[in-house]
Amino acid sequence: MPILQVENLSKSYRQAGGESTLAIENISFTVNEGEFLSLVGPSGCGKTTLLMSIAGLIAPSAGRVAVKGAEVAGPPRDLVLVFQEYNKSLFAWRTVLGNVLFGLEAKGRPPLDAEAKGRWLIRLVGLEGFERHYPWELSGGMQQRVAIARALAYEPEVLLMDEPFGSVDAMTRLELEDGLLKLWKELGTTILFVTHDIEEAIYLSDRIHVLGPRPSSIIHTLDVGLERPRKQMTTRADANFMKLRNEIYRRIAPRLPSGW
Amino acid sequence: MNLSGVAVLAALLLLWELSSRSSPNLRSYFPPPSEVTFVLFRLAFAREILGHLTKTLERFLGGYLLAAAIAVSLGACLGYFRTAHSLFGLLIELLRPMPSVAIIPVAILLLGIGDAMIVGVTVYACAWPILINTIDGVRSIDRTLVDTGRTFGLGRWRILREIALPAAAPYIATGLRVSLPIALILVTTSEMVVGGSGLGYFILDEERSFRTKEMYAGIVVVALLGYGLNRLFIALEKRVMAWHRGMTAKGVS
């Protein structure tokens, strides 16, 4: 059951010199309800542009996005985007609980059990005890977890994530990946996940769309098909995991600008 | 309270006391601190100076708070809405460097001689630092913060109130801090010009009547008022801006 439909989406930017560059070109895909779909592509390929267009934060140059059948004109009500730079997105003047409560307040009057809900979400992302801390007091990984909890507090139908683990160290990333899968299983939210990390995409997703370099379009699609629950130790050692990884890498590698 | 600071102050007062007592000429312009203190207490107990202090404080609060309310709201809008800023930017750049005391005659024409004029001048003077800092603060907030508000479905006004203003709070606090002494200066200066009541009037009146000890007593009271207000501001800021204090201490921008 498609919950999100992207049709012929293109976005071009006008440069200082007057000429325009095409960031994404004619991208179409659907996201089914409850699935975990990743978009993988090299850095700078326009993934963020694509996600921002889907999130209604930038207007596309062509094409349309529909959430539950309704066309998107501005930020859709059922969607929330989690940004890569959590330190620029979290509210420094609010505590951890305050940030999460914002997600509950955003749609209108907060529910009567808002604080309880907020605390539950904080516990769900593993930050119990840090409710009254300020974001700057937490590590990068913890801050991103607050951002995720805040987004989930909004109770979106679709969670968009823009390289959310790109700004944390490798070990924290593994921890966050597993945490996210746990949340996904618990809440059943549809997730559209953008990353440049091929293995991360395979580890997390049901399906993957591979994006080429600029102007970006979908150059390959695959079903991951690995069994769940995914485990860092076993899933990544699975022969199929490697096959999928190579399949994707083969498609991206030749198109990478050969600098070195 | 550092001991060396107190020692310097004590040394200066002692110097003043001794020089004053040793020269009759000096004594008339700079009466010894001990005698000034004595007069100060006498005035305090006679309540006369307290009446002036209250008047000055009232005008200060009226002017400062009104300026804050106007300047923060206006500054938020000018900082947030690009069109507003392009319309009024030039006007601000032209008016801002003008010394606010120059506006006193205008205020007298428009508002007469009295509290309205004093508060009016004070509002005008205080508003500028608060306005400029608020505009700067709102303009400097990260795009991601605004986009965060948007992705959560907030409209422009909610983003301004719930995200832009708190994010700009450190800048606004700076503006408010800078305006505090300005307000006191304008109030006392206006009181000198306009007369009738207030510490400014009191100081000038005592000077005209050659009651130098009383004059200095008035000056001391104004100084203490300024000091007290400043400390109060610092205490309030500490509580409200606790979140920011921690951030900057850690070296986070």
ipTM of the complex: 0.91
Amino acid at B180: L
Amino acid at B213: K
CB contact under 8 A, A89 and B148: yes
CB contact under 8 A, A93 and B243: yes
Closest chain A C-alpha to B146 CA, distance in angstroms = 8
Q: Give φ, ψ of A34 to 5 degrees.
A: 85, -5
Among all residues of chain B, which has the CA nearest to that of A152?
B152
Task: Considering only the beta carbons, identify the residue of B147, B166, B169 that sits closest to A57.
Answer: B147
Compute the Cα dihedral for A80, A85, A87, A88 and give only its sign. negative
pLDDT in tens, A132-190: 999 999 999 999 999 999 999 999 999 999 999 988 888 899 999 999 999 999 999 99
Give SS3 for A106: coil
Compute the Cα dihedral for A48, A51, A57, A62 and give only its sign. positive
Is the pLDDT at A256 greater than 70? The verdict is: no
Is the pLDDT at A16 greater than 90? The verdict is: no
Mutate to test the interface with A, among B145, B147, B151 (most CBs of A within 10 A): B151
Residues 143-182, chain B: which have Cβ within 8 Å of A? 144-145, 147-148, 150-154, 162-163, 166-167, 169
Give SS3 for B31: coil
β-pair type (A20-32, A2-14): antiparallel
Supply angle C-alpha B9, B11, B15, rounded to 5: 120
How far is the C-alpha of A217 from the C-alpha of A223, rounded, in Å? Answer: 18
| Whole-Å CA distances, A95 to A92, A131, A136, A140, B252 | 7, 7, 10, 15, 16
CB contact under 8 A, A91 and B154: no
Q: Does B247 touch chain A (CB under 8 A)?
A: yes
- Name the residue among B244, B155, B158, B153 with its Cα closest to residue A151: B153
- Name the residue among A162, A165, A156, A158 with its Cα closest to residue A30: A158
Compute the Cα dihedral for B50, B53, B59, B65 and give only its sign. negative
Closest chain A C-alpha to B71 CA, distance in angstroms = 22
Tokens of B146: 């605004």
CB contact under 8 A, A136 and B252: yes
Among all residues of chain B, which has the CA nearest to that of A55?
B151
- Name the residue among B132, B195, B208 with its Cα closest to residue B168: B132
Q: What is the pTM of this model?
A: 0.86
pLDDT band at A45 (very low <50, low <70, confident <90, very high): confident
The reported pLDDT for the residue numbered B159 is 94
Supply angle C-alpha B115, B117, B122, rounded to 5: 95
Tokens of B40: 């100060």
CB contact under 8 A, B152 and A80: yes
pLDDT band at A69 (very low <50, low <70, confident <90, very high): confident
- Name the residue among B97, B101, B98 with its Cα closest to residue B117: B101
The reported pLDDT for the residue numbered B138 is 94
Q: Does A132 touch chain B (CB under 8 A)?
A: no
Contact between residue B86 and residue B136 where contact means Cβ atoms under 8 Å apart: no
Is the pLDDT at B250 greater than 70? The verdict is: no
Closest chain B C-alpha to A88 CA, distance in angstroms = 6
CATH homologous superfamily of B36-247 equals: MetI-like (1.10.3720.10)
The reported pLDDT for the residue numbered A147 is 96
How far is the C-alpha of A56 from the C-alpha of B149, rounded, in Å? Answer: 12
pLDDT in tens, B68-103: 999 999 999 999 988 888 888 888 888 888 888 898
| Whole-Å CA distances, A151 to A62, A79, A145, A185 | 28, 9, 10, 16
Residues of A in contact with B244 (CB under 8 A): 92-93
Sheet containing strand A62-67, strands side by side: A20-32, A2-14, A62-67, A70-71
- Give kind and range of the element (H or E) at residue A66: strand A62-67
CB contact under 8 A, A134 and B163: no
How far is the C-alpha of B42 from the C-alpha of B36, rounded, in Å? Answer: 10
Is the pLDDT at B253 greater than 60? The verdict is: no
| Whole-Å CA distances, A248 to A21, A107, A207, A231, B65 | 26, 39, 12, 21, 63
The reported pLDDT for the residue numbered B252 is 59
Among all residues of chain B, which has the CA nearest to that of A80?
B151
CB contact under 8 A, B152 and A106: yes
Contact between residue B113 and residue B194 where contact means Cβ atoms under 8 Å apart: yes
How far is the C-alpha of A96 from the C-alpha of A145, rounded, in Å? Answer: 10
Q: Residue A6 forms beta bridges with which residues?
A: A29, A65
The reported pLDDT for the residue numbered A253 is 77
The mean pLDDT value of chain A amounts to 90
Supply angle C-alpha B197, B200, B206, rounded to 5: 85
Q: Does A67 touch chain B (CB under 8 A)?
A: no
The reported pLDDT for the residue numbered A20 is 82
Burial of A149 (C-beta count, 10 Å sphere; 0-12/13-18/19+): buried
How far is the C-alpha of B184 from the C-alpha of B203, rounded, in Å? Answer: 14
Is the pLDDT at A119 greater than 90? The verdict is: yes
pLDDT in tens, B42-69: 888 877 888 999 999 999 999 999 999 9
